[in-house]
């Protein structure tokens, strides 16, 4: 292609379409693949964001042919696609869907996979480029990676790229994540490894950077001089679904605190990157993750909980220990809250309260900056009884947007100041709906843009925060809370002891 001298390569307004390529999914019959990946592939195709020469491959044990696999993919995509269904789009995709039958330790199956990829180069012009998506438990990584390596499929050359996508959890602690990182890095080169934290694919999470670094309004007050505390909440009304086995071994801290919440913290607290590039953004996030401190007394600054039976939206909800597949004496936490510090000039002394839980009253993820009270109020105390701290809330989901909470005079003949809200709602300001996180991230993998993917050093720095917590909690029992409540009482007491309160979003 002749380069256009007038087009700035940093101009990212035009939709980017990846080069011809293949996507190979391991774990294609799993939950993630059916609910997120296959619909995302369809949505990208429907938006014209997949290259014309594209192939989708799956390897699994089932005794299937290409047609059976195409049928599974079609019904999964149809069920969960974000964009309207267009049969002709699917038909075009279906022609380049391939299935290879076999287990992960089956050499023949991987030889066949390599041969199929090579064949697609000729028949579908995929140019030798391929991304391997490991949508499988980490315990299976070694065998799959070795097979991919043995068959020569992992090598990028000047003429073709080969990438690997790794799903969280990246290990279960610092040691296992290091081992996992070493393993992945021994097969693929570091630039070809994409670690998915799907929260980074959410539009509102990316907006955090726009909000901070594209405006002059917020940055001057985004520091210890003005911010009293930061609250990051990831509340879910759902329980553990069909994932008892995974959840029993994982718990809330490893499941979401280690990754989603710490990434949100990093984006909230980081300094402005030198430029909006993968390298620079990851560098700034890493600095924050390394600067995180745990409180000295974990007994009063960290809480883990487990839901008991209760009521949610008028329906009876089972307790965690009564869920199918859960040990009736389980001590796995379904709620975790902790106070962290960020030891930098900007943040030293500002508590970052993080909480995540299942079976809470509603599904909401938000980042709230709670500002200091005005040093002096020239009103009578009674005039400002209902005035809280100013707050800036980035609503990640649902009702994506930003809210500013501040005091305002209540209309009338007396002076009374009360909190009011100013809202920006994505749904009202933009006509275009936000892409799903997986849609965005899958596209970025195929484009080779690693901006929204944590580097392994970030993953390790995050485990370094979680490990001491897990050690402290080992052998203890989580505090009970009723399904439909905002977590255990101890979590409220933790903030109350410091003169603060959790927000009730
Ligand atoms: C996953 C966790 O990473 O995120 C799940 O493993 C959780 O336990 C899910 O339910 C929540 O994702 P979202 O996008 O629905 O907020």
Residue nearest to atom 7 of ligand 1 (CA): 256
Residue among 418, 422, 397, 398 at smallest CA distance from 409: 418
On the question of pLDDT at 13 being above 80, the answer is no
Beta carbon of 400 within 6 Å of any ligand 1 atom: no
Q: In terms of domains, do 156 and 207 share one?
A: no
Q: What is the pLDDT of residue 49?
A: 95
Distance (angstroms) between ligand 1 centre and the Cα of 239 equals 11
Residue nearest to atom 4 of ligand 1 (CA): 256
Query: Which CATH number characterizes residue 58's domain?
Result: 3.40.50.720
Q: Measured from the CA of 246, which atom of ligand 1 is nearest? A: 6
Query: Which CATH number characterizes residue 484's domain?
Result: 3.30.360.10
Active-site amino acid positions: 260
Residue 186 lies in a domain: no
Distance (angstroms) between ligand 1 centre and the Cα of 260 equals 9
Token output for 260: 């989603």
Residue 266 lies in a domain: yes
The residue whose CB lies within 8 Å of the most ligand 1 atoms, and thus the one to mutate among 256, 264, 440, is: 256
Beta carbon of 236 within 6 Å of any ligand 1 atom: yes
Q: In terms of domains, do 207 and 98 share one?
A: no
Domain count along the chain:
2
What percent of the chain stands above pLDDT 70?
98
Is 245 strand, coil or helix?
A: helix
Q: In terms of domains, do 207 and 76 share one?
A: no
The residue from 167, 193, 212 where one domain ends is 167
Q: What is the pLDDT of residue 6?
A: 58
Mean pLDDT, rounded, for 174-200: 95
For residue 481, give the H/E element and its range: strand 479-482
The residue from 167, 185, 213 where one domain ends is 167
Q: In terms of domains, do 154 and 222 share one?
A: no
Q: Measured from the CA of 365, which atom of ligand 1 is nearest? A: 16
β-pair partners for 422: 404
Residue 205 lies in a domain: yes
Residue 71 lies in a domain: yes
Please tell me the least confidently modeled range out of 25-34, 402-411, 494-503: 25-34
**What average pLDDT does the structure give for the chain?**
94
Distance (angstroms) between ligand 1 centre and the Cα of 268 equals 20
Task: Give how far the C-alpha of residue 248 lies from the chain's centroid of Cα atoms, to the nearest Å.
Answer: 20
Residue 358 to residue 336: CA distance in whole angstroms = 10
Q: In terms of domains, do 93 and 214 share one?
A: no
Q: In terms of domains, do 149 and 287 share one?
A: no
Write the pLDDT tens digit of every residue in 330-366.
Answer: 999 999 999 999 999 999 999 999 999 999 999 999 9
Distance (angstroms) between ligand 1 centre and the Cα of 236 equals 8
Residue 2 — pLDDT band, cuts 50, 70, 90?
low
Distance (angstroms) between ligand 1 centre and the Cα of 224 equals 31
The helix/strand count (H/E) of the chain reads as 16, 18
Token output for 426: 């994505």
Beta carbon of 256 within 6 Å of any ligand 1 atom: yes
Beta carbon of 32 within 6 Å of any ligand 1 atom: no
On the question of pLDDT at 476 being above 70, the answer is yes
State which residues form the domain around 275: 201-435+455-496
Token output for 499: 């003169």
Beta carbon of 255 within 6 Å of any ligand 1 atom: yes
Q: Measured from the CA of 202, which atom of ligand 1 is nearest? A: 14
Q: In terms of domains, do 205 and 155 share one?
A: no
Q: In terms of domains, do 300 and 382 share one?
A: yes
Residue 175 lies in a domain: no
Residue 8 lies in a domain: no
Contact 481, 305 (CB under 8 A): yes
Residue 417 to residue 408: CA distance in whole angstroms = 5
Q: Measured from the CA of 243, which atom of ligand 1 is nearest? A: 8
Q: What is the pLDDT of residue 7?
A: 60
Contact 220, 456 (CB under 8 A): no
Beta carbon of 200 within 6 Å of any ligand 1 atom: no
Mean pLDDT, rounded, for 6-11: 63
Distance (angstroms) between ligand 1 centre and the Cα of 242 equals 13
Write the pLDDT tens digit of every residue in 133-177.
Answer: 999 988 899 999 999 999 999 999 999 999 999 998 888 999 999
The residue among 1 and 422 whose pLDDT is bigger is 422
Q: In terms of domains, do 209 and 285 share one?
A: yes
On the question of pLDDT at 11 being above 70, the answer is no
Residue nearest to atom 15 of ligand 1 (CA): 236
Mean pLDDT, rounded, for 270-280: 94
Write the pLDDT tens digit of every residue in 295-343.
Answer: 999 999 999 999 999 999 899 999 999 999 999 999 999 999 999 999 9
Residue 364 to residue 396: CA distance in whole angstroms = 8
Mean pLDDT, rounded, for 169-196: 94
Residue among 301, 306, 333, 332 at smallest CA distance from 319: 306
Residue 424 lies in a domain: yes
Q: What is the pLDDT of residue 244?
A: 94
The residue from 167, 188, 215 where one domain ends is 167
On the question of pLDDT at 494 being above 90, the answer is yes
Distance (angstroms) between ligand 1 centre and the Cα of 418 equals 36
Beta carbon of 244 within 6 Å of any ligand 1 atom: no
Mean pLDDT, rounded, for 27-47: 94
Q: In terms of domains, do 113 and 213 share one?
A: no
Q: What is the pLDDT of residue 91?
A: 93
Is 160 strand, coil or helix?
A: strand
β-pair partners for 160: 157
Residue 88's Cβ-side half-sphere holds a number of Cα atoms within 13 Å equal to 2
On the question of pLDDT at 421 being above 60, the answer is yes
Beta carbon of 167 within 6 Å of any ligand 1 atom: no
Q: Measured from the CA of 168, which atom of ligand 1 is nearest? A: 3
Residue 246 lies in a domain: yes
Write the pLDDT tens digit of every residue in 437-450.
Answer: 999 999 999 999 99
Q: In terms of domains, do 262 and 163 share one?
A: no
Is 114 strand, coil or helix?
A: helix
The number of residues in the chain equals 505
Write the pLDDT tens digit of every residue in 372-416.
Answer: 999 999 998 888 888 999 999 999 989 899 999 999 999 999 899
Mean pLDDT, rounded, for 254-267: 97
* Contacts (Cβ under 8 Å, ≥6 apart) of 131: 21, 22, 23, 24, 162, 163, 164, 165, 194, 445, 446
Mean pLDDT, rounded, for 475-488: 96
Is pTM beyond 0.75? Reply is yes
Residue 8 — pLDDT band, cuts 50, 70, 90?
low
Is 419 strand, coil or helix?
A: strand
Beta carbon of 197 within 6 Å of any ligand 1 atom: no
Q: In terms of domains, do 216 and 309 share one?
A: yes
Q: What is the pLDDT of residue 22?
A: 97
């Amino acid at each position: 292609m002749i380069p256009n001298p007038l087009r700035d390569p940093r101009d990212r307004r035009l939709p980017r379409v990846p080069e011809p390529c293949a996507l190979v999914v391991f774990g294609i019959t799993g939950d993630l693949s059916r609910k997120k990946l296959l619909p995302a592939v369809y949505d990208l195709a429907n938006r014209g964001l997949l290259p014309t020469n594209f192939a989708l491959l799956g390897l699994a044990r089932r005794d299937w042919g290409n047609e059976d696999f195409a049928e599974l993919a079609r019904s999964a995509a149809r069920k969960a696609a974000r964009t309207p269904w267009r049969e002709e789009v699917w038909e075009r995709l279906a022609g380049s869907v391939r299935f290879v039958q076999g287990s992960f330790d089956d050499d023949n199956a991987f030889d066949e996979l390599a041969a199929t990829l090579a064949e697609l180069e000729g028949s579908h012009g995929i140019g030798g480029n391929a991304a391997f998506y490991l949508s499988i438990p980490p315990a299976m990584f070694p065998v799959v990676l070795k097979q991919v390596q043995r068959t020569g499929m992992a090598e990028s050359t000047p003429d073709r790229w080969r990438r690997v996508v790794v799903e969280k959890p990246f290990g279960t602690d610092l040691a296992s994540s290091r081992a996992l990182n070493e393993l992945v890095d021994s097969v693929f080169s570091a630039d070809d490894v994409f670690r998915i934290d799907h929260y980074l694919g959410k539009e509102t999470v990316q907006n955090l950077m726009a909000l901070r670094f594209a405006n002059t309004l917020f940055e001057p007050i985004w520091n210890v001089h003005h911010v009293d505390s930061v609250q990051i909440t990831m509340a879910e009304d759902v329980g553990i679904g069909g994932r008892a086995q995974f959840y029993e071994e994982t718990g809330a801290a490893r499941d979401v605190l280690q990754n989603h919440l710490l990434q949100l913290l990093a984006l909230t607290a980081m300094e402005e990157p030198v430029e909006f590039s993968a390298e620079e953004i990851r560098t700034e996030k890493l600095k924050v993750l390394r600067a995180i401190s745990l409180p000295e007394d974990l007994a009063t600054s960290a809480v883990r909980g487990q839901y008991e039976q209760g009521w949610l939206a008028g329906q009876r909800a089972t307790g965690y220990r009564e869920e199918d597949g859960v040990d009736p004496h389980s001590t796995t936490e379904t709620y975790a809250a902790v106070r962290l510090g960020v030891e930098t000039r900007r943040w030293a002394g500002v508590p970052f309260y993080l909480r995540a839980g299942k079976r809470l009253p509603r599904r909401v993820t938000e980042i709230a900056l709670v500002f200091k009270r005005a040093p002096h109020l020239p009103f009578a105390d009674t005039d400002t009884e209902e005035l809280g701290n100013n707050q800036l809330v980035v609503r990640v989901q649902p009702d994506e947007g930003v809210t500013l909470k501040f005091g305002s005079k209540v209309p009338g003949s007396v002076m009374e100041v009360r909190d009011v809200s100013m809202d920006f709602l994505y749904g009202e300001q933009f006509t275009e709906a936000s892409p799903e996180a997986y849609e965005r991230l899958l596209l970025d993998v195929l484009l080779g843009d690693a901006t929204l993917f944590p580097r392994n050093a970030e993953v390790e720095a995050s485990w370094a925060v979680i490990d001491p917590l897990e050690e402290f909690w080992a052998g203890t029992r989580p505090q009970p809370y009723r399904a439909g409540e905002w977590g255990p009482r101890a979590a409220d007491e933790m903030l109350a002891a410091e003169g603060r309160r959790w927000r009730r979003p």
